Chains A and B, each alone.
Chain A
Amino acid sequence: MNSKPYFEDFDWPAMWEATRQTLYMTGISVVATFILGILLGLLLFLTSKGSLWNNKPINVIISGIVNIFRSIPFIILIVLLIPFTTIIFQTMIGENAALPALIIGAAPFYARMVEIGLREIDKGVIEAAKSMGATTGTIIWKVLLPESMPALVSGITVTAIALVGYTAMAGVIGAGGLGSLAFLQGFQRNQNDVTLVATIIILIIVFIIQFIGDFITSKLDKR
């Protein structure tokens, strides 16, 4: 089959629908990864040696889980999670079906970045908060999170960009989105214009995420 001339009968509505799906998958998974990653990162940090909760068994367990999920290639993780996804969503295709894999793939990765960000907080500041009689909850909300916020935001920026890439791969389980469109229409039906436009839209999304991330980080950082 020869390729058609560029942009003849170009299906823009399908392209916008795919963009919407990509944004939907990225948006939901970024929010969920942000929350889950911070929770895991906090646990990793708080249970580490010499920290507030200093708990080796829990630290080893969480660290193990994080390392395992971080090591599994994303494309394999999607397949491994199919039974789990089917239980939650009653289906294994569609944009929602991609979410568990996206979140479980990205959260451990982000958790490590959160942990690194928290480690960079001056120990003296935590000690000062303790010396004022702060509870661990207060230390988490008023010291750990605000003091590491620039690192948390730049970390989620990197993770969000990785997630845009993951959503493209999630196309293989029929999740839709720009990646899936580029593969099914662009590659398999040899419509290079579709691949081109999908790529440009993905690039624009990535640039916007990076710009917003950098902007917020620089606004937050008062050091």
Chain B
Amino acid sequence: MISIKSVQKIFPSKQGQLMAVDDVNLEIQEGEIFGVIGYSGAGKSTLIRMLNGLELPTSGTVTVAGRVVSKIKGAELRKARQEISMIFQHFNLLWSRTVSENIAFPLEIAGIKGPERQKRVSELIKLVGLEGRENAYPSQLSGGQKQRVGIARALANNPKVLLCDEATSALDPQTTDSILELLVDINKRLGLTIVLITHEMHVIRKICHRVAVMESGRVVELGQVLDVFKNPQQSITKRFVQQVTEPEETKETAEHLLERYRSGQIVQLTFIGESVEQPIITNVIRHNNVTVNILQGKISQTQSGSYGTLFIHIDGDEAEVNKAVDYIRSQQIGVEVVTSE
């Protein structure tokens, strides 16, 4: 569906050249929800803008839905853009138009007239759950409602691809979740390919099938979301994964306990998929002469399965503790012994 081949983007700047995107290669499948995560300045914004030709690559090719977006110009590019729509962090609605009129805008661009346009607008309003707000102006809407208008507007011309540029970054956590659910729903119902960029791992965890991690213009890690959570390779990826799996307090608690209990070990367990459902703690205590103290645990759902972390303190005879850790390792569970830094 989307193919990005050896794409580079160099911005000329006063301090020489700035390499925003550096030799990126990606293949995104039809119907996939693909996430790109990175801190600001990583080049993810530039990358997503090359998918609808708002930015042109300095070298390399970008192909979306059979069109070489990086080459086409004029009318052909405008036609392509009707099939590759975009939603934005700050919604970018026209304040001078009502909800209905905003949603009608892309239909006006596509030359759809009169009753047909009206019909499509009311379908879209229903799809994003904005019934009753048709005649409100954007200034009268909440952030979540504005993004719903943004999504309805983006879907108006039945696009093949939806690009989300930090679409939930300006929203509170609850609204973020409702918008993400809407995106998943649209992806399933319409089979739409979604590419989103974000700096929040929460968003990736919640809706993406695959994720690419970007750092200084390069894709440093790429894979299934669950695999990346289970086994992050790069230190930047580990930090992103920690955003969702390891709340700040856990670390403090662990350090406090390490100081207090000189004996035993604090262990972080990582469960993927079915292993989440095993009675692992019971088994550890039954098979080994140790005591186990649960410090913190969490289970998160991703699009392709659940993912859990558990921090425990294992105490007892040193040999028994080591045996217990080895036992857990043998159970297809990720184990990391926490040491004080």
A: residues with CB less than 8 A from B are: 122, 124-125, 127-135, 138, 142-143, 146-147, 149, 220, 222-223
User: Count the A-B residue pairs with Cβ separation under 8 angstroms: how many?
Assistant: 67
Q: Does B85 contact A (CB under 8 A)?
A: yes
Chain A residues with Cβ below 8 Å from B97 are: 146
**Which among B54, B88, B109, B139 is the interface contact of A223 at CB below 8 angstroms?**
B139
**Which among A124, A138, A222 is the interface contact of B109 at CB below 8 angstroms?**
A138
Q: Does B67 contact A (CB under 8 A)?
A: no
**Which residue of B has the minimal Cβ distance to A147?**
B96
Chain B residues with Cβ below 8 Å from A149 are: 96
Known: A131-B81, A135-B78. A122 touches B92 (CB 8 A): yes
Q: Is the beta-carbon distance between A130 and B95 smaller than 8 angstroms? A: no
Q: List 12 A-B contacts (CB under 8 A).
A: A122-B90, A122-B92, A131-B84, A131-B86, A131-B163, A133-B80, A138-B108, A138-B109, A142-B94, A149-B96, A220-B96, A222-B95
Q: Does B327 contact A (CB under 8 A)?
A: no
User: A132–B138 Cα gap in the complex (Å)?
Assistant: 19
Q: Is the beta-carbon distance between A125 and B78 smaller than 8 angstroms? A: no
Chain A residues with Cβ below 8 Å from B92 are: 122, 124-125, 127-128
Chain A residues with Cβ below 8 Å from B137 are: 222
Q: Is the beta-carbon distance between B139 and A222 smaller than 8 angstroms? A: yes
Q: Is the beta-carbon distance between B54 and A127 smaller than 8 angstroms? A: yes
Q: Mark B23-58, 1 if CB is under 8 A from A, else 0.
A: 000000000000000000000000000001010000
User: A127–B85 Cα gap in the complex (Å)?
Assistant: 12
User: A222–B140 Cα gap in the complex (Å)?
Assistant: 9
Q: Does B82 contact A (CB under 8 A)?
A: yes
Q: Is the beta-carbon distance between A133 and B54 smaller than 8 angstroms? A: no
User: A91–B173 Cα gap in the complex (Å)?
Assistant: 72
Q: Mark B90-110, 1 if CB is under 8 A from A, else 0.
A: 101111110000000110111
**Which residue of B has the minimal Cβ distance to A131?**
B86
**Which residue of B has the minimal Cβ distance to A220?**
B96
Residues of chain B from 216 to 237 with CB closer than 8 A to chain A in the complex: none
Chain A residues with Cβ below 8 Å from B138 are: 222
Q: Does B79 contact A (CB under 8 A)?
A: yes
**Which among A128, A133, A143, A147 is the interface contact of B78 at CB below 8 angstroms?**
A133
Q: Is the beta-carbon distance between B108 and A133 smaller than 8 angstroms? A: no
**Which residue of B has the minimal Cβ distance to A132?**
B106
- Nearest-neighbour CB distance to chain A for B139, whole angstroms, equals 5
User: A125–B85 Cα gap in the complex (Å)?
Assistant: 14
Q: Is the beta-carbon distance between B95 and A223 smaller than 8 angstroms? A: yes
**Which residue of A has the minimal Cβ distance to B97?**
A146
- Nearest-neighbour CB distance to chain A for B46, whole angstroms, equals 13
Q: Is the beta-carbon distance between A131 and B96 smaller than 8 angstroms? A: no
- Nearest-neighbour CB distance to chain B for A131, whole angstroms, equals 4
Residues of chain B from 240 to 280 with CB closer than 8 A to chain A in the complex: none
User: A128–B94 Cα gap in the complex (Å)?
Assistant: 9
Q: Is the beta-carbon distance between A132 and B95 smaller than 8 angstroms? A: no
Q: Is the beta-carbon distance between B105 and A133 smaller than 8 angstroms? A: no
- Nearest-neighbour CB distance to chain B for A146, whole angstroms, equals 4
Q: Which 10 A-B pairs have the closest CB atoms?
A: A133-B81, A133-B78, A128-B92, A124-B92, A222-B137, A131-B86, A146-B96, A132-B106, A133-B82, A223-B95
Q: Is the beta-carbon distance between A132 and B96 smaller than 8 angstroms? A: no
Given contact pairs A122-B92, A134-B109, a sample of 15 additional A-B residue pairs in the complex whose CB atoms are under 8 Å apart: A125-B92, A125-B93, A125-B94, A127-B54, A129-B109, A130-B81, A131-B81, A132-B85, A133-B79, A133-B81, A135-B78, A142-B105, A142-B108, A146-B96, A222-B95
User: A134–B163 Cα gap in the complex (Å)?
Assistant: 17
Q: Is the beta-carbon distance between A128 and B88 smaller than 8 angstroms? A: yes
User: A125–B97 Cα gap in the complex (Å)?
Assistant: 12
- Nearest-neighbour CB distance to chain B for A170, whole angstroms, equals 36
Q: Is the beta-carbon distance between A130 and B88 smaller than 8 angstroms? A: no
Chain A residues with Cβ below 8 Å from B85 are: 131-132
- Nearest-neighbour CB distance to chain A for B5, whole angstroms, equals 22
Chain A residues with Cβ below 8 Å from B139 are: 222-223
- Nearest-neighbour CB distance to chain B for A201, whole angstroms, equals 36
Q: Is the beta-carbon distance between A132 and B109 smaller than 8 angstroms? A: yes
User: A138–B95 Cα gap in the complex (Å)?
Assistant: 17
